[in-house]
Amino acid sequence: MQMARDLALVGLPGVGKSSLGKRLAAKLGVPFLDTDRAVIAETGVSHDSVAAIFEREGEEGFRRRERELIASLVAPEPPTGSLGAELGIGRVVALGGGAAADPRNRWALRERAILLWLDAPDNAIARRLRTARVVRPLMNHADPTATLERLRNDRERFYRPGIRLVSSRSPGSLADEAIALVRSHVDSARPLVDATTSSGRWVVGDQIASDALRSVLAERRATRMVLVTEPIAARHVAAPLRDALHSAGIDVIQIDLPSGEAAKELHEIGAAAQRLANAGVERGDLLVAVGGGALTDAAGLLAALYLRGLDWVAIPTTLAAQIDASLGGKTGVDLPQGKNLVGAFHQPQAVIADLAALRTLPVRQLVAASAEAAKVALLGEARLFTVLEEAAPRLRSGDPSLHNDGTLAEIVERAGWWKCRVVAADERESGERISLNLGHTLGHALEQAAGYQNLLHGEAVGYGLRAALYIGRELGVTPVPLADRALALLDALDLGVAPRTESVADLLAAAGRDKKVADSKIRWVLVNNDGYLVRNDVPASLVERAAVAMLAGTH
Ligand SMILES: NC(=O)c1ccc[n+]([C@@H]2O[C@H](COP(=O)([O-])OP(=O)(O)OC[C@H]3O[C@@H](n4cnc5c(N)ncnc54)[C@H](O)[C@@H]3O)[C@@H](O)[C@H]2O)c1
């Protein structure tokens, strides 16, 4: 017999989750739990409130308590003969307004709960908030409409995977409608995140690729698509995906590129374009790229060029591609003269990051990609910093618990969202996007000096991050405790530790040719306690010392 699940209500503060939740529980004949109240009860302080816990323990303290509570939730068996038993629902849970924002909570609930997103127009919610008796810490001292708009922008991507019930009617009157909706949607696979970004729709989840892609195809009423992949990603991800699509009646034209960087050659794009022409691919056909960053870069460029642009979807299958390469719309191939020298900005319609793909990834790839996540942590993603510190030993050993306890899901969500946010603010790289170059100035230079042999991009970034920390610390930009903490994280990940044999002269020459040079001056991204700043006045002697220390593996 299938275990009973919770019916978890998510939505903005004040939307009426508790009112609807109580009514739903009564109709289903199951208990009701309000996580805010349960957290308060756990503190053991009489007359406690969410606001009081925020004041005493900070928001982080409250969220920690909330996370522990949600991790421990197991729905009770519904009474025999109840509507709950018929639908497999053992309890109704109203999740606090911010609970769904925590990746670990959504991970814990993904199989144990059905998510119902209760939504209403902002003016209806604001009206309710003005007359409510409950004190909500995030709503105090603020114009509710502006706060609601901000919260909606911040959180809607976490609510959207839920079954959506939108109405301006009083929440208590919506129970029958909610039950009908749940009944018709109960079996569909649901992602952890579903966001609308400037890089298209961004969907993250576990074993979601097939359902998410089919929903994109259904929206376009498409009955065929072009699948571009490479042999390794095909074996692990694309082949089962193609079979699932075939069974759903979708005609798949498959184009195979070589694995790894060999896909990023102009003649491969030319040959693939000819195959598209021979197969009669038209403007309206969707191109779906399944593979690591090299594959999505090359297939994205093919999509940009063929018939002056096909719509495309990226299904990144490596950690590097999920948190970096597939986001931002940069596509391209290499020339003998250098990497990524021919390319185009061509945003995908959707990026579908299926965490299940990462299970077959070699540990070395996982650790190298962690350098890009560490970069985001250093730029100011405070929780990601802690997650990486906790995960570092397990990342190095490829511990399978990373996949099972939501750690990798949280790394992908947080690092990926950071990039989506920065790209949205600066699509064409004229402002904030330069921050993503942290660690890349000497990192790229090292890759070049090494002739792109035996060194993964993320591994090179690990060295580059150390050099940027060295320079920042020497200039007094990066506080010593922050630099020490960052270096300890890189040590724990074993990134940038082993001495290198490349020459300092080659490295400095390559750094001078870097793309982030303006008026012949290198623009260095350096970190401080507020995030980062850009300096173009770093003395050459200091850069040289940083390069020497970096190559020697001393810091
Ligand atoms: N467009 C951008 O903004 C951007 C940003 C960063 C990096 N990049 C590019 O990304 C590329 C690096 O990406 P990468 O690190 O993903 O390398 P990659 O694409 O070369 O993949 C690494 C290896 O992993 C294999 N692989 C792919 N999926 C797998 C899976 N699920 N299980 C096991 N093996 C799998 C591939 O076959 C390949 O051999 C570089 O070309 C870089 O220039 C682009």
Please name the fold of domain 197-360. Answer: Rossmann fold (3.40.50)
Residues of the chain above pLDDT 70, percent: 95
Query: Atom 4 (ligand 1): residue with closest C-alpha?
Result: 325
- Sign of the torsion angle spanned by Cα atoms 283, 289, 295, 296: positive
pLDDT tens digits, 376-388? 999 999 999 999 9
Contact 378, 286 (CB under 8 A): no
* 368-411+427-552 and 197-360 share a CATH fold: no
pLDDT in tens, 320-370: 999 999 999 999 999 988 889 999 999 999 999 999 999 999 999 999 999
Which residue's CA lies nearest to atom 44 of ligand 1? Answer: 325
pTM of the predicted model as reported, rounded to 2 decimal places: 0.94
Confidence of residue 238 (pLDDT cuts 50, 70, 90): very high
Best residue for ligand 1 mutational test, from 365, 422, 423 (most atoms within 8 Å of Cβ): 365
pLDDT tens-digit series, residues 284-299: 999 999 999 999 999 9
> By alpha-carbon position, which residue is closest to atom 20 of ligand 1?
260
Give the count of beta carbons closer than 10 Å to the beta carbon of residue 277: 11
CATH number for 5-188 (one of 3.40.50.300, 3.90.600.10, 3.30.428.10, 3.40.109.10): it is 3.40.50.300
Cβ neighbours around 58 below 10 Å, total: 11
Sign of torsion, CA 510 516 517 523?
Answer: negative
* Ligand 1 cavity residues, CB under 6 Å: 230, 232-233, 236-237, 259-261, 264, 291-295, 297, 317-318, 320-321, 324-325, 328, 330, 339-340, 357, 360-361, 365, 457
- Best residue among 259, 302, 318 to mutate for probing ligand 1's pocket (most ligand atoms within 8 Å of CB) is 318
- Nearest atom of ligand 1 to the alpha carbon of 358: 31
Residue ranges covered by each domain of the chain: 5-188, 197-360, 368-411+427-552
**pLDDT band (50, 70, 90) for residue 533:** very high
Residue nearest to atom 15 of ligand 1 (CA): 320
Pocket test residue of 198, 232, 346, 456 for ligand 1, highest count of atoms within 8 A of CB = 232
**Confidence class for position 553, pLDDT limits 50, 70, 90:** confident
Task: Give the Å distance between the CA of 328 and the centre of ligand 1.
Answer: 15
Judge whether 419 and 324 are in contact, CB under 8 Å. yes
Distance 325 CA to ligand 1 centre (A): 8
Q: How confident is the model at residue 97 (pLDDT cuts 50, 70, 90)?
A: confident
Rounded distance between C-alpha atoms, residue 56 and residue 269, angstroms: 59
d(CA 196, CA 199): 8
Say which CATH topology domain 368-411+427-552 has: Dehydroquinate synthase-like, alpha domain (1.20.1090)
Alpha-carbon gap, residue 262 to 548, rounded angstroms: 32
